[in-house]
Amino acid sequence: MGHNTFSARTATAPTARHSLSAAFSAKAEIPTVLRGVMVAATPAAKARPKATGEKVARTPKTQELHACRCRDFVAEDGEWTGCEAMTARTFAPGHDAKLGSLLQKKALANVAVHDATAGTYADALFWAAQFPFGAKVAGRVADAQAKRGALRDKDAAYRA
């Protein structure tokens, strides 16, 4: 049998070690500040090899961050959402509901709401109608007003 023996352990060990070290060497992408604007790197689409067999280098896409839109709305009585979030979209996650809740509360209290972007005061239902959740807010306000009316009628009948 002789001198030419094959060892599976020595043949596969360097390749396995190499693939594990390559798998765990990925670095996290960190947001950076460029020219006073915060920029967050998002993962680019997977690089696909060209027809020649070369790998295409990944280039991270950048998105400019701005203040969440719910921050712009302040009620006449001074109440606001308290939002300090920066986002690449109109609202930070869940902040559309936060604004909807504020607008619903102020519509029921008949308090005007100021939009800093538009620079004007208007009814809370007017501002709610400017967003996709406006119909939901209007429906909840109508339901609450109907419930208040029914309770008022029930109370009046009880006192009579």
pLDDT tens column, 83-114 = 999 999 999 999 999 999 999 999 999 999 99
Q: Give yes or no: residues 104 and 76 share one domain.
A: yes
Number of domains in the chain: 2
Q: Give yes or no: residues 41 and 107 share one domain.
A: no
Q: Say what the alpha-carbon torsion angle 80, 93, 43, 41 is, to the nearest 10 degrees.
A: 10
Q: How far apart are CA 37 and CA 22, in angstroms?
A: 33
Q: Give yes or no: residues 84 and 57 share one domain.
A: no
Q: Which of 8-12, 108-112, 118-122 has the lowest mean pLDDT?
A: 8-12
The total of other beta-carbon atoms located within 10 Å of residue 148's CB is 11
User: Does 18 map to a domain?
Assistant: no
User: Does 5 map to a domain?
Assistant: no
Is 0.85 topped by the overall pTM? no
What's residue 87's pLDDT? 94
What's residue 41's pLDDT? 56
Instruction: Provide the pLDDT confidence category of residue 126 given band limits of 50, 70 and 90.
Output: very high
Per-state percent for the chain, helix, strand, coil, to nearest 5: 40, 15, 40
What's residue 2's pLDDT? 52
Q: Give yes or no: residues 49 and 125 share one domain.
A: no
User: Does 10 map to a domain?
Assistant: no
Q: Give yes or no: residues 60 and 71 share one domain.
A: no
Q: How far apart are CA 19 and CA 95, in angstroms?
A: 43
Q: Give yes or no: residues 73 and 56 share one domain.
A: no
Q: Domain range holding 155?
A: 67-159
Q: Give yes or no: residues 43 and 114 share one domain.
A: no
User: Does 8 map to a domain?
Assistant: no
